[in-house]
Amino acid sequence: MATLKLISLGCSKNTVDSEVVLAHVLPAQWTLLPTDSAKHPDVLLINTCGFIGDAKQESIDMILRACMLKSKRRIQKLYVMGCLAQRYGQELAAEIPEVDAWFGVREPEKVIAAIVGEDVAAAEGFNPERRTLTTPAHYAYLKISEGCDRQCAFCAIPLIRGKHVSRPMESLLKEAEDLARQGVKELILVAQDVTYYGLDIYGKQRIADLVRALARIEGLRWIRLQYLYPHSFPEDLLDLMRTEPKLCAYIDIPLQHIATSVLHDMQRATDREKTTALLHKLKAALPDAVFRTTLIVGFPTETEAAFAELKAFVTEFRFDRLGVFTYSEEEGTPAAALPDAVPAEEKERRADEIMRLQETISLSLNEARVGKVFEVVIDREEGDYYIGRTRYDSPEVDDEVLVLREEGKLQIGGFYQVRITEAEVHDLYGQVEKAC
């Protein structure tokens, strides 16, 4: 059997795209090699990220390493897909001729045909609802839309992935039912902005209707939403978060900044007053919810005063989870026309300062969880521990719960009541009280 190795970089939306390709390649007598396998594949497929400078550099470095393998005849074919290929494919094809073909973000059928052959691909047909999961079997991402209609000044996603296109609800429900039959218990809805879902095809935001229908699927235990844009937050979604037990009280709301002047220059369609009013409304309605956000420091118009305002806001609000990006110029975006007034060293200093503040907050919040019991799903075994998560944590980006393996055999994908015994900045330690 021919062999394929897939390297999927970037976000969870890329993960879904990769899984759709795999679902159509593997049945055509292909074997998937693990990414850490010492064996060299017949075809190496790299799904790239083109979101920010560091992500683009990671993708380029991975492609160049693959080109070295190809030059040594350790792989026969090298294909590149995804955001980087979408945005820079023509230029990269001229610079890196060792790559056999470049494919944009909306060309999965062409990727499949290149790997298995056009005749085989045509005979098999293409179904975007088919997935071969690369995540642990008990959780999966569900991409509910593609692209974005927002016009944030710093963001190249609309240039790369185009305008917002919602998937029909019937298609999403069918895919979710298939995933549940395969054993998926946690469904993580992903999009550039999940709150925008439905506007283009139904004329109104229908994310609450979608979640309500998903919650009726037998076998699903947790439903998680990533990412909730702070502008035009749907009221019916907040009502559903209060009443639907399967919907995790997990508010993933990328704010980017808090200073009104910076938000205006970022074209975020909101200001400090509206943002803080929404956050306090969400906290009052969902007192047990956790809040996750991302921030950008070093935006061209971020003054020392605006940065000080951001620090004070982080200290005051006490986010449960927080990540920081340093601003990187993306050609073609409105912000690229602004003079980059903040030196690179200063951007890094500001990011480090925010993260030091957040680490103190995170440790304090985690220490408050010691002695309490949480429902935990076990994701994997690692060394002496089982590694799990509470319903307040998303895979790969949030805190984890560590349980000593010597306590007894636990099931991967199993749910347990765990009492927290110790806390660190990003990890909790616990003891299992019972399965649930």
pLDDT of residue 1: 86
Q: Is residue 186 within 8 Å of 139, Cβ to Cβ? A: yes
SS3 3: strand
In whole angstroms, how far apart are CA 197 and each of 202, 227, 282, 297, 322? 9, 11, 20, 29, 24
C-alpha triplet 220, 225, 229: angle, nearest 5°: 165
pLDDT of residue 134: 96
pLDDT of residue 136: 96
Q: Is residue 290 within 8 Å of 320, Cβ to Cβ? A: yes
Q: Tell me the C-alpha distance between 154 and 394, whole Å.
A: 25
Q: What is the full per-residue pLDDT of the chain (436 aa) written as tens digits?
A: 899 999 999 999 999 999 999 999 999 999 999 998 989 999 999 999 987 888 899 999 999 999 999 999 999 999 999 999 999 999 999 999 999 999 999 999 999 999 999 999 999 899 999 999 999 999 999 999 999 999 999 999 999 999 999 999 999 999 999 999 999 999 999 999 999 999 999 999 999 999 999 999 999 999 999 999 998 899 999 999 999 999 999 999 999 999 999 999 999 999 999 999 999 999 999 999 999 999 999 999 999 999 999 999 999 999 999 999 999 999 999 999 999 899 999 999 999 999 999 999 999 999 999 999 999 999 999 999 999 999 999 999 999 999 999 988 999 999 999 999 999 999 999 999 999 9
SS3 234: coil
Q: Tell me the C-alpha distance between 60 and 55, whole Å.
A: 9
Helical residues (DSSP H) of 72-117, grouped into ranges = 83-95, 108-116
SS3 readout for 114-183: HHHCHHHHHHHCCCCCCCCCCCCCCEEEEECEECCCCCCCCCCHHHHHCCCEECCHHHHHHHHHHHHHCC
Token pair 């439905």: residue: 198
Q: Strands across the sheet with 2-8, in order?
A: 30-33, 2-8, 43-48, 77-82, 101-103
Q: Is residue 126 within 8 Å of 108, Cβ to Cβ? A: yes
pLDDT of residue 162: 93
Q: Tell me the C-alpha distance between 285 and 333, whole Å.
A: 36
Residues contacting residue 97 through CB under 8 Å, at least 6 positions apart: none
CB atoms within 10 A of CB 252: 22
Does an H or E element contain 425, and which? none
404 pairs with which residues across the strands?
A: 385
Q: Tell me the C-alpha distance between 335 and 226, whole Å.
A: 25
Q: Is residue 412 within 8 Å of 381, Cβ to Cβ? A: yes
pLDDT of residue 51: 79
Query: What is the greatest pairwise CA distance in the chain?
Result: 62
* Helix, strand and coil percent figures for the chain, each rounded to 5: 40, 25, 35
pLDDT of residue 50: 86
SS3 330: coil
